[in-house]
Every structure is written in structure tokens, then in C-alpha cells.
Amino acid sequence: MTLIQVYRTLYDSYGPQGWWPADSPFEIMIGAILTQNTAWSNVEKAINNLKGNNALSPDSIINTPHQQLAEWLLPSGYYNIKSERLKQFCHWYIKNGELEALNKLATKPLRESLLQVKGIGPETADDILLYAFRRPVFVIDAYTRRLFLRLQLITGEEPYEKLRQYFESELSDNDNIDKLFNEYHALIVMHAKQHCKKQPDCADCPLRSNCEVGSRLSDA
């Protein structure tokens, strides 16, 4: 199996995923931070709290006292840390001219700038680049490592940056690369969440690879 064959198999099985679910690029960025090691259903509750209090904007997040913001973020877990991370991110966002100015940056310097923000690591940065700024970067998450380890296309030991470059270079020849990366990551998450975990025997798995059996990388 090649990377593009895996993609086509997943796409044929699950169809377009329509990621990232949000009303604006800014909401995508906030969601990317809130979903760190957290179930998306919990993130939705926190985002709805922000929306319900008219607080889903850079100014509101900066001006809301930590205690209040943390309370709204409660259902997403890590609420004290995430309150600080959202504030840090919003300061960065405003200082750099928000969406319009940031969008003029090339992908590489934009990525470097994002990684300077405390609380934004490689995966969160790439989520933001791909889904909020629509840049052609491939997001590497735990699902991706697990799946392609099971498919024996990687060892699972590769550092983040090496894996990202592997996926990006292997897929670079394809048309409509933005859509490809957008759907691919979403499909990997969908495949892991909705299919294999609920059917450990992989009876109807489109990839037939026991891709999610066992929960940890180390037990492969």
C-alpha cells in the first residue's frame, strides 16, 4: 500500500469529512488549542460556553479574568492551563495583525512564529496552518502514527518533523494538495474513532490491517 492508496481507500469508505467544524478561522485556532489531549465533544461544550457569553474573540479572551475564562473552559479539561494558553495565543494573534496580516506570511515563517507561542506545539501549529490558514501541511498525530505503524509504512519511532516531511514529500505529486491534506488527516481520525475501535476484529475495516488494535504505540 502506498500513502495515496491508503487515502483513496479511506475516502471511498468514509467520504469527505468537511473539517474543521467551526464558523471562522479564529474558532478553528481556539479549537485546536482546546482539543489538546481532549475529546472533541468536551471541546464543543467549552466553545459553546465562550459563544454563549459572547467571548469567542481575541479581545474578549484577553479581557476576561482568568478565573472566569477557566470556568467557561471547565468541560474541556486542563482549564487552568488552557485559559493561559488561549490568552497567550490571542496576544500573539493581535500583535501580529490577526488573520489578514498573518495570511501574508509564507508557511514556514508562519509555522516558526506559531511555535514560539507557549502552549502551541508541532501538532497544534499544523492543525492551525492546515485548517485555519489552509496551508498544505500534513498533521501528524497519535492516530497517524498508530495507523501507519500497523500498515508497516513507518517504524513509529520517527520524530514528528521526520514523519511530516515523509508524508508531505510522498504526496507532493498529487493534484489539489490542500484538499488532499485536509481530508487525509480528518479521515485518519474518523477511521480510528468510528470504526476500528468498535470492531477489534476489523471485520469491515477498509484497510484490513488491525490498525487500531491495542491502544499504545509500544504494544505493536
Phi, psi of 202 (to 5 degrees): 60, 35
**Segment contacting DNA by CB under 7 A, of 29-37, 103-111, 147-155, 167-175:** 29-37
144 binds DNA (CB under 7 A): no
Under the criterion CB under 7 A, does residue 183 sit at the interface with DNA? Answer: no
- Which of 39, 52, 66, 107 binds DNA (CB under 7 A)? It is 39
* Angle, CA of 160, 165 and 168, to the nearest 5°: 125
- 188 CB burial (10 A radius; 0-12, 13-18, 19+): buried
Distance CA 162, CA 148 (A): 14
**Cβ nearer to DNA, comparing 68 with 172:** 68
For 210, list phi and psi in degrees, rounded to 5: 50, 40
Binding to DNA, residues 1-20 (CB under 7 A) = 19-20
Segment 48-107, which members bind DNA (CB under 7 A)?
74-75, 77-82
CA distance 156 to 56: 37
- In sequence order, the 6+-apart residues with CB closer than 8 A to the CB of 130 are 136, 137, 138, 139, 181, 182, 185
Smallest separation (angstroms) from DNA to the CB of 32: 7
**Shortest approach of DNA to residue 79 CB, angstroms?**
5
Selected binder of DNA within 3, 127, 135, 209 (CB under 7 A): 127
Please give the Cα distance from 190 to 40 (Å, whole number).
Answer: 12
Query: Least distance in Å: CB of 204 to DNA?
Result: 18
Nearer to DNA, 2 or 200 (CB): 200
Cis amide prior to 20 (ω within 30 degrees)? yes
Tell which one of 7, 26, 93, 124 touches DNA (CB under 7 A): 124
Query: How many whole angstroms separate alpha carbon 131 and alpha carbon 195?
Result: 24
Residue 121 engages DNA in binding (rule: CB under 7 A) = yes
Residues making contact with DNA (CB under 7 A): 19-21, 31-32, 35-42, 45, 74-75, 77-82, 118-125, 127, 131, 141-143, 159, 189, 192-193, 215-216
